[in-house]
Amino acid sequence: MKRSERIVAMTYHFKENPRKLISLPYFVDTFEAAKSSVSEDIDIIDEMFQSLGVGRIETTAGATGGVRYIPDYDFNNGRYFIEQLIKVLEDAERILPGGYIYMSDVLGDNNYVRQIGKVFGATFRDIEVDYIVTVATKGIPLAYAIAEVLNVPIVIIRRDPKVTEGSTVSINYVSGSSRKIQTMALAKRSIPEGSNVLLVDDFMKAGGTIKGMENLMEEFNATVKGIGVLAEAEDEDEERRVDDYISLLKIQEVDERTEAIKIVPGNYFDEK
Amino acid sequence: MKRSERIVAMTYHFKENPRKLISLPYFVDTFEAAKSSVSEDIDIIDEMFQSLGVGRIETTAGATGGVRYIPDYDFNNGRYFIEQLIKVLEDAERILPGGYIYMSDVLGDNNYVRQIGKVFGATFRDIEVDYIVTVATKGIPLAYAIAEVLNVPIVIIRRDPKVTEGSTVSINYVSGSSRKIQTMALAKRSIPEGSNVLLVDDFMKAGGTIKGMENLMEEFNATVKGIGVLAEAEDEDEERRVDDYISLLKIQEVDERTEAIKIVPGNYFDEK
């Protein structure tokens, strides 16, 4: 097999298996190539991935060593993407009664969701998590897209426990926006004791739902290592119940009367 | 830029943008390479993708022409994957009261879900659909994984309309397993009139939910072009209400007393 052919196959394989350790002998055997040739191929891919701003190939030496594709997403590309997304969302047609913004189309479009997954994937790149936890419904594609980058499973908290979940642990919590008592349930066997988790949701206002997720995680003796929300909005009536989170969008104003929407990049873009 | 470097970037780009038409001048400009070199690069990638069984690069001639990566998934690889999945699922520990099988972990694991998405993506490769429609909750990662292969948006039907959906269309339907009347709701603006849709769900027994989805699609004047369910199970008490669907798994027996589970490949694997 020629170098160019090996490089197609290896690039595809890395992209398909982010964060998975691949032993060099696997490539050597698959391509019937010399170890030195395979190493050179990997160097070319590594350099090109870095110059494209999509991550790098990490090499671990030793008997249990190998290579691993660690995806990344260039901060400026992320910021540019979020600015484009803001333009899409700042459309008066999206205003819903109650001052909400219709976002279901964006949250169902893999072209947006994959990018959002990459930004969060880069954000939480160095945090070791075992599970990404979200609550039904709209945050699920988002959680899945992040899971594809971090290569960990997702776990879905439900409002209504179903027979197909087996026995569940449930808690009650007070929703910030409606001030109603609501229920969250999660299958007992979904998260082993002592796991590290990342909480993900599409939208946060007073933070009641995220707070509820945190409380539910305590029931599983799980440690919350990070919180990511796509969009946050200020709640004039109530103080936020969650301090430490990453948001990509901040909804500052939705005025039904004047049809004005004001969205700015979220706190992820503050620090740098 | 050298050929091997261009090939890394192009392979990554194709894998990142399935089914998207890319004009040759885009590559020529990006890499500052001759058109003939880029064409040769694409031939190498095309041949390698075909030999890996992961699809091909389709070339369209003319002024509006370009190249497009059409993902595919080798039938035998798909069958092998399903056999492995059956081994994972045929574990007595998964048996739940009522004769259900716990599958939430599999449906949350991107390593399984991505493969399932590819098998369905290959199955529905030649059907032109505008949207993939699923019903909350567990089918969502599945629908998203198929959407990534077919590059179309997903639309999520909910049991409980929420304020963030805007105005919704809802129907009542009779669930096959519980024989209860249930509700399905979908945001009015989610599917334009006359769309072609693919229905996806994780599990089908009597088919009441899928039938309900079909009825709801009628309200949107949408045409159902295909139906895909991960697992089907026979309902001894009731005839199936849906005829034309593709399943990847068929649950033949779940015996709580003897702890026996029998799963076979679904009807997708019958025909060939």
DSSP letters for chain B: --HHHHHHHHHHHHHHSTT--B-HHHHHHHHT--HHHHHHHHHHHHHHHHHHTSEEEEEE-STT-EEEEEE---HHHHHHHHHHHHHHH--GGGEETTTEE--HHHHH-HHHHHHHHHHHHHHTTTS--SEEEEETTTTHHHHHHHHHHHT--EEEEBSS--GGG-SEEEEEEE-TTT--EEEEEEEGGGS-TT-EEEEEEEEESSSHHHHHHHHHHHHTT-EEEEEEEEEEE--TTS--S--S-EEEEEEEEEETTTTEEEEEE-GGGT--
Q: What is the DSSP letter of A19?
A: T
Please indicate if any CB of chain A lies within 8 Å of the CB of B56: no
> With an 8 Å Cβ cutoff, are B154 and A114 in contact?
no
The span from the CA of A113 to the CA of A121, in Å, is 12
Please indicate if any CB of chain A lies within 8 Å of the CB of B112: no
| Residue of B110, B114, B229 to mutate, interface with A, max A Cβ within 10 Å | B110
For residue B98, list chain A residues with Cβ-Cβ distance below 8 A. Answer: 163
pTM, rounded to two decimals: 0.96
The span from the CA of A16 to the CA of B90, in Å, is 27
For residue B160, list chain A residues with Cβ-Cβ distance below 8 A. Answer: 159
Q: What is the pLDDT of residues A23-59, one digit of tens each?
A: 999 999 999 999 999 999 999 999 999 999 999 999 9
The span from the CA of B167 to the CA of B187, in Å, is 6
> Given this model, what pLDDT does residue B271 score?
64
Q: Does residue A66 have a pLDDT over 80? A: yes
> With an 8 Å Cβ cutoff, are B163 and A100 in contact?
yes
Looking at the partner chain, which of B153, B158, B163 has a beta carbon nearest the beta carbon of A137? B158
The average confidence (pLDDT) of chain A is 94
The span from the CA of B189 to the CA of B187, in Å, is 6
For residue B148, list chain A residues with Cβ-Cβ distance below 8 A. Answer: 110, 114
> Given this model, what pLDDT does residue B243 score?
83
The percentage of residues in chain A with a pLDDT greater than 90, rounded to a whole number, is: 86
Distance (Å) from the alpha carbon of A249 to chain B's nearest alpha carbon: 17
For residue B45, list chain A residues with Cβ-Cβ distance below 8 A. Answer: 8
> Given this model, what pLDDT does residue B176 score?
67
Please indicate if any CB of chain B lies within 8 Å of the CB of A159: yes
- State the distance between the two ends of chain A, measured CA to CA, in whole angstroms: 45
> With an 8 Å Cβ cutoff, are A140 and B137 in contact?
yes
Q: Does residue A271 have a pLDDT over 80? A: no
> Given this model, what pLDDT does residue B75 score?
93
The span from the CA of B201 to the CA of B128, in Å, is 19
- ipTM for this prediction: 0.95
Please indicate if any CB of chain B lies within 8 Å of the CB of A256: no
Looking at the partner chain, which of B7, B97, B101 has a beta carbon nearest the beta carbon of A7? B7
Q: Does residue A150 have a pLDDT over 80? A: yes
Residue A14's closest chain B neighbor by CA? B12
Tell me which residues of chain B have a pLDDT lower than 70. 176-178, 271-272
Looking at the partner chain, which of B4, B111, B203 has a beta carbon nearest the beta carbon of A44? B4
Q: What is the token pair recorded at A216?
A: 């539910």
Mean pLDDT, residues A141-166: 94
| Secondary structure class of A186 (helix, strand, coil) | strand
The span from the CA of A94 to the CA of A82, in Å, is 17
Residue type, A170: S
Q: Does residue A188 have a pLDDT over 90? A: yes
Contacts of A267 (CB under 8 A, 6+ apart): A232, A245, A246, A247, A250
Which band of pLDDT confidence, cut at 50, 70 and 90, is reported for residue A261?
very high
| Secondary structure class of A174 (helix, strand, coil) | strand
Q: What is the pLDDT of residues B166-201, one digit of tens each?
A: 999 999 998 766 678 999 999 999 999 999 999 999
> Given this model, what pLDDT does residue B272 score?
58
Looking at the partner chain, which of B16, B136, B154 has a beta carbon nearest the beta carbon of A108? B154
Q: What is the pLDDT of residues A103-125, one digit of tens each?
A: 999 999 999 999 999 999 999 99
Short-list B23, B33, B107, B115, CA closest to B66: B23
For residue A141, list chain B residues with Cβ-Cβ distance below 8 A. Answer: 140-141, 144, 154
For chain A, list the domains and their CATH numbers: 3-71 (1.10.10.10), 75-271 (3.40.50.2020)
> With an 8 Å Cβ cutoff, are A145 and B144 in contact?
yes
